[in-house]
Amino acid sequence: MTRILSVLCLLCSLILTACQAQTELLYKVVPARITSSTPAPILVLLHGWGSDENDLIGLSNSLPPDFIVVSVRAPYKRENGGYAWYELQFGNGVFKETIGQAAESARKINSLLPKLVKELHADPKRVFLGGFSQGAIMSLRVGLQAPYPVRGIVCLSGRFPPDLDLNKIPAMQKTKIPVFAAHGTDDKVISIADGRNIIQKLQSAGISVTAKEYPMGHQISKEELMALKLWLQQNGK
């Protein structure tokens, strides 16, 4: 009987370990193309709904060469393929966020940031967090509230997180986190009105925003990347 219990405990331990491993965020890394004697700045990218870590990693070629670029896979696997930071619930003609899943994803990202800095020998004072679409929403949610301080936030084609209360963020913290926010004027997935709402809310709270609009849909353009590269160079010094 004792032997059976021991075997069962071992099996439970193995199952638990496997489940824990599956909950860890996976990511791809592109090292800095120009190295120096000082730790490099790092940009952590979060993909959009239904995509994965391969989607944004290619942007590294258009970003400052002294940056480490990391693209992270969201934790929730979708039935139709790809991954999400949280599922969307449809009701009353609109999509709503699954706040519980968003909060759990935020917790995982918060835990990942110091881990990446340590493993990749990045500069802990020059950590940038950014994303596209749902990843942009998560970047705002995490970056403005993160216990681990970020140097700046990149928001590409996103919207303001419905559960984010800027009044609860210390004024000193808000003034230290600049935001690059860009959006397509022809975006049919997340409207330009949602993009402009981000800017209005952040600026009203005293947050420095570099706002850009481009004649495009729900996508990332070369002109947008050129502006982002310049912004990262200016804020990553």
Mean pLDDT per 10-residue interval, the chain, length 237 residues: 36 30 79 90 97 96 97 93 85 62 94 96 96 97 87 97 87 83 97 97 94 97 98 94
Q: How far apart are CA 141 and CA 161, in angstroms?
A: 6
pLDDT at 2: 40
**How does DSSP classify residue 60?**
G
3-class secondary structure, 4: helix
**End-to-end CA, the chain:** 65
pLDDT at 17: 28
User: Nearest-CA neighbor of 67 among 132, 126, 4?
Assistant: 126
25-235: CATH, from 3.40.50.300, 1.10.600.10, 3.40.50.261, 3.40.50.1820: 3.40.50.1820
Q: How far apart are CA 103 and CA 62, in angstroms?
A: 31
3-state helix, strand, coil in the chain (%, to 5): 40, 25, 35
Domain borders along the chain are: 25-235
pLDDT at 169: 83
